[in-house]
Chain A
Amino acid sequence: MLRTTMPILIGMAVLGVVSGTMLQSFEKQLLIYPSILFLIPALIGIGGNLGTIFGSRFATGIHLGILEFKFSNPIFRNNIIAILIVNIIIFLILGFMSYFIINLIGIGVLSLTNVVLLSFFAGLILTSALIPTAIFVAYISYRKGLDPDDTIIPTVTPTGDIIGILALLAVIVLLL
């Protein structure tokens, strides 16, 4: 249990520092649009939640022996589709919520359409990257006989942090 998790955790601590530094280096651009700064924790938070739920569900499926890594398997398919649907709904809601909160505080410069699109596309990119990552780690763990409970979540969360920040920056460049 410890031997599986510790190397992953150390890698994760390093990735945590990397994503923090990355954010730091974009600080100036981010400060022009406070709305985006406001979106980051929520985006990463939800991304992490979706990734963790997906990972935890996959781990259970593997342990119960009912998950197979093909799309015809109902557990495999339903988990992916459900996460994608929830992803679309929740990031649209996040976009609207952020817009109203930042305007309430009076720091908003972006239009409602822009904030909602930012949240929606950043979220979509994030989840589209997280799902294959989780599946890949689950599959490798399954093949190598590692406990997926110990491997999926610790690898998916920090990956999500970095991809979340990158996705947001990419969407900013494309949209604004």
Chain B
Amino acid sequence: MATDDRDLAKEYLEKYSSLSSIISQILPILLLALVGSLLTGFLFLEMRNSLELLPGLLAMVPAVMDTRGGIYGAFGSRIATGLHLGIVEPRFVINRNVNRAMAAALINSTVISIIIAVIAYGVLHVLGFETIPVWALVVISLLAGMISGLILIGVMIVITFRGFRRGIDPDNLVGPLVTVTGDLFSIFALLFTAKIILVIIT
């Protein structure tokens, strides 16, 4: 085990830790992420009208995106560490460490979705804004969190595994993946569940 650890550390030092390797990997990834987030920005502008149909929904958007980034950023960081430590193999088989990280992410996401909806409702209520009922906010937040979370986990695993096999450091991929795909699917999922709720309410 001790020699194993030393080998892994040595491999990491050689492959992933030089200044040029970090910069040459991060820069193109960030440029792609930049284009992605600009596109998401446009999508967001396009969808603003639909979001305004359900008062209270817009107030949840930044918090939903922020916490999503934290939860799945932590998930990805765990996967990346696992790959570097050799306790996660870059193959699509059932792995205890991946399962545990996945369960933690989904549980965190569920709890925080409810908390966000309740806080948003409370703040808007105190400030005297009109909102849809609190149960509707909770349902939208929960469902959207689940849908985007599952998609994000899938995307994250596929891309970091493939990348790792080709020598791309998963630590460099996690952040951009979370921001671009996370924001994109969060907006889609929010809108999708909001549409359903809109039909139920009216």
A17 to B66 CA separation, bound complex (whole angstroms): 10
Interface set, chain A 1-50, CB cutoff 8 A to B: 1-2, 5-6, 8-10, 12-17, 19-20, 38, 41-42, 45-46, 48-50
- Interface size class on chain B is 35 or more
For A52, what are the chain B residues with a Cβ–Cβ distance below 8 Å?
Answer: 69, 73, 77, 174-176, 178-179
A79 to B13 CA separation, bound complex (whole angstroms): 12
Q: Do A13 and B71 have beta carbons less than 8 Å apart?
A: no
In the complex where A15-B66, A82-B19 touch, is A9 in contact with B30 (Cβ < 8 A)? no
Partner of B12, one of A41, A66, A85, A157: A66
For B84, what are the chain A residues with a Cβ–Cβ distance below 8 Å?
Answer: 60, 63-64
The secondary structure that dominates the B interface is helix
Q: Do B85 and A64 have beta carbons less than 8 Å apart?
A: yes
Q: Do A63 and B22 have beta carbons less than 8 Å apart?
A: no
Q: Do B175 and A60 have beta carbons less than 8 Å apart?
A: no
Binds B, one of A86-94, A108-116, A167-175: A86-94
Q: Do A10 and B112 have beta carbons less than 8 Å apart?
A: yes
Q: Do A13 and B175 have beta carbons less than 8 Å apart?
A: no
Q: Do A97 and B66 have beta carbons less than 8 Å apart?
A: no
| Residue A164 lies at the interface, judged by CB distance under 8 Å to chain B | no
Q: Do A13 and B63 have beta carbons less than 8 Å apart?
A: yes
A19 to B37 CA separation, bound complex (whole angstroms): 19
For A94, what are the chain B residues with a Cβ–Cβ distance below 8 Å?
Answer: 34
For A55, what are the chain B residues with a Cβ–Cβ distance below 8 Å?
Answer: 73, 77
Q: Do A63 and B81 have beta carbons less than 8 Å apart?
A: yes
For B33, what are the chain A residues with a Cβ–Cβ distance below 8 Å?
Answer: 45-46, 49
| Residue A132 lies at the interface, judged by CB distance under 8 Å to chain B | no
For B169, what are the chain A residues with a Cβ–Cβ distance below 8 Å?
Answer: 57
| Residue B167 lies at the interface, judged by CB distance under 8 Å to chain A | no
Chain A 151-171: CB-based contact to B (< 8 A → 1; otherwise 0): 011100110010000000000
For B119, what are the chain A residues with a Cβ–Cβ distance below 8 Å?
Answer: 13-14, 17
For A97, what are the chain B residues with a Cβ–Cβ distance below 8 Å?
Answer: 34, 38
Q: Do A53 and B112 have beta carbons less than 8 Å apart?
A: no
| Residue B133 lies at the interface, judged by CB distance under 8 Å to chain A | no
For A5, what are the chain B residues with a Cβ–Cβ distance below 8 Å?
Answer: 70-71, 74, 104, 108
Partner of A8, one of B34, B38, B70, B115: B70
| Residue B5 lies at the interface, judged by CB distance under 8 Å to chain A | yes
B contacts, CB < 8 Å to A = 5, 8-9, 12-13, 17-19, 22-23, 26-27, 30-31, 33-34, 37-38, 40-41, 44, 59, 62-63, 65-67, 69-71, 73-74, 76-78, 80-81, 84-85, 100-101, 104, 107-108, 111-112, 115-116, 119-120, 123, 169-172, 174-176, 178-179, 183
Known: A45-B183, A90-B34. 9 other contacts (CB 8 A): A2-B104, A16-B67, A42-B38, A52-B77, A53-B171, A53-B174, A60-B171, A86-B26, A90-B27
